[in-house]
Chains A and B, each alone.
Chain A
């Protein structure tokens, strides 16, 4: 950083303004894309079993080589859907975090702020605890997809409620949303608490594991359900970039710059609620990606959302895939919930970055 500042900026040959890091941004995005490809391949070839991707490829091109049905299932039905789901969810959580931090102009904002996590948690807990009794018909109808469905609906309902509370005369106050979000979170927590109290031993254990998050339930059917929602939300993100950049100056200033602030808020909130709702629904609570990834990237490529959002998607996906690879192999043949890995690795790393860059960073 110091190097850039010491460069003579008076030279007319340099058209870019001081502090313009768009070239760096492009470079970082290209690098991260490569990293993601590499991490995906690494994930595909790593696992508790010795199923070999090389054997699979050989078997599909040559008559001589054979691969067992077991290994075929492991690669096609276990590892591959997990990787696809990991990429989708990692990207969704990181981009949602970046969007929320931009929208709330608050570095602590996290995807859970729009109330999605609390509502999704309540939905999931309801199915786990009441699935055999009061909500029996729902479970009978949707089978193992009742839980993700309930989590998604719970998340969406909380966000809508929060949005209604925070919107007056067509204007959404992000400050109200922040505070009301805390209140609604506490309320959802109370309902969840009642259900936890009613739960039996086995249900309590299911609840605990759900809360720690896992990609272990990844199936192609779940990807078909959650994938389109996440992809749509991610596609909306680039259209938010310029608006979020302007919003950094404050709402009034953004308005004067011609940014349709209210529409920006609506789109951002809907996109984040959908992406996080779908993610939490299929993988449970996976913390930290939404906070760490955008901050890490802001430190290197700056706060410009045009680069920050795509870079967050790529880095979030890579980090979650790596965390999942650890969770799948570190206690093999058992599995460590991924939420433990993301927090245990992410938190110290983040602290280290903060300590190292204390001078540069001013939150």
Chain B
């Protein structure tokens, strides 16, 4: 009988808490998972998507698949009571079915600027019912972002930055406008050297030369395929840019720099240091 009674009380307690806050949350979108961890709410997370790679503990959670190719039964199988999705999660049919199972789905908008990051933190805070903690986190991130902004304010000429997503086989895939990379370059007070197109596209050699970047950011995806300065110097067009000549090539961590989550403030500050020297922000 005592077992029954204690089970009953456990059930009552969990019933009471579920009335105020969801305790079985699935985070879909790497930055959302990061925010949940940064808010110290990780014990409420029960699953993540395959883009949620940070912090490392998140990897222990079940993976419900790629955020743009979700399986409705897969997501429901972990028995969630709240699903946080980043804008663009889908396919739309899958999201519609999940909603029809009366599981609340909160869609968090994404834009690659200061307001975007702060709005994300705010939205997650609201969904989790911890607005105050979220406001504190947002203030911290904002302070870093403003520090990066100030670093650039005192500079007359903004550094021209070329972001290279990959240079497989000597083909340079570089960021144009409208990307997370473009947003990060602007947050750090630089200017994107490529503004002729939107998205990540292959850049012709001559355009690389005429873009004449002061700094080159190379994305490090981890593993064997990490680009090296040898790759860079063997690429004729890149090797004649001011960035390569002055050795200003920075290897950046993909989900740190492009994630637009709680670490974005720090990432922008570090990048500003790289661009203008750390005398300004310290």
A residues with a Cβ closer than 8 A to B are: 47-51, 69-70, 73-74, 77-79, 144, 197, 199-202, 205-206, 209, 214, 216-219, 222, 328, 331-335, 337
Cα distance, A219 to B100, chains bound together (Å): 12
Question: B225 on the interface (CB 8 Å rule)?
Answer: no
Interface string of B24-59 (1 = CB under 8 A from A): 000000000000000000000001001000000000
| CB-defined contacts of A216 to chain B, threshold 8 Å | 69, 71-72, 91, 93-94
Question: B179 on the interface (CB 8 Å rule)?
Answer: yes
Report whether B179 and A201 are in contact in the complex, using a CB–CB cutoff of 8 Å.
yes
Question: B174 on the interface (CB 8 Å rule)?
Answer: no
Cα distance, A73 to B73, chains bound together (Å): 9
Report whether A73 and B100 are in contact in the complex, using a CB–CB cutoff of 8 Å.
yes
Question: B198 on the interface (CB 8 Å rule)?
Answer: yes
Q: Which of B60-68, B143-151, B204-212, B267-275 contacts A (4 or more CB under 8 A)?
A: B60-68
Report whether B47 and A333 are in contact in the complex, using a CB–CB cutoff of 8 Å.
yes
Report whether A79 and B73 are in contact in the complex, using a CB–CB cutoff of 8 Å.
yes
Report whether B101 and A333 are in contact in the complex, using a CB–CB cutoff of 8 Å.
no
Interface size class of B (residues with CB under 8 A): 35 or more
B residues with a Cβ closer than 8 A to A are: 47, 50, 62-66, 68-79, 88, 90-94, 96-97, 100-103, 178-179, 198-201
Cα distance, A229 to B68, chains bound together (Å): 29
Q: From known contacts A197-B201, A200-B178, A201-B179, infer whether A74 and B73 are also in contact, taking CB-CB under 8 Å.
A: yes
Cα distance, A109 to B200, chains bound together (Å): 38
Q: For the complex formed, measure the closest distance between the CB of A254 and the CB atoms of chain B, giving whole angstroms.
A: 44
Q: From known contacts A197-B201, A335-B65, infer whether A48 and B91 are also in contact, taking CB-CB under 8 Å.
A: no
Q: For the complex formed, measure the closest distance between the CB of B132 and the CB atoms of chain A, giving whole angstroms.
A: 32
Cα distance, A332 to B72, chains bound together (Å): 11
Given B50, B73, B76, B91, which contacts A328 in the complex, CB threshold below 8 Å?
B73
Measured CB to CB, the nearest residue on chain B to A216 is B71
Cα distance, A197 to B198, chains bound together (Å): 11
Q: For the complex formed, measure the closest distance between the CB of B212 and the CB atoms of chain A, giving whole angstroms.
A: 25
Q: From known contacts A201-B179, A216-B71, infer whether A332 and B77 are also in contact, taking CB-CB under 8 Å.
A: yes
Report whether A219 and B93 are in contact in the complex, using a CB–CB cutoff of 8 Å.
yes
Report whether A209 and B199 are in contact in the complex, using a CB–CB cutoff of 8 Å.
no
Q: For the complex formed, measure the closest distance between the CB of B77 and the CB atoms of chain A, giving whole angstroms.
A: 3
Q: For the complex formed, measure the closest distance between the CB of B261 and the CB atoms of chain A, giving whole angstroms.
A: 17
Q: For the complex formed, measure the closest distance between the CB of B165 and the CB atoms of chain A, giving whole angstroms.
A: 9
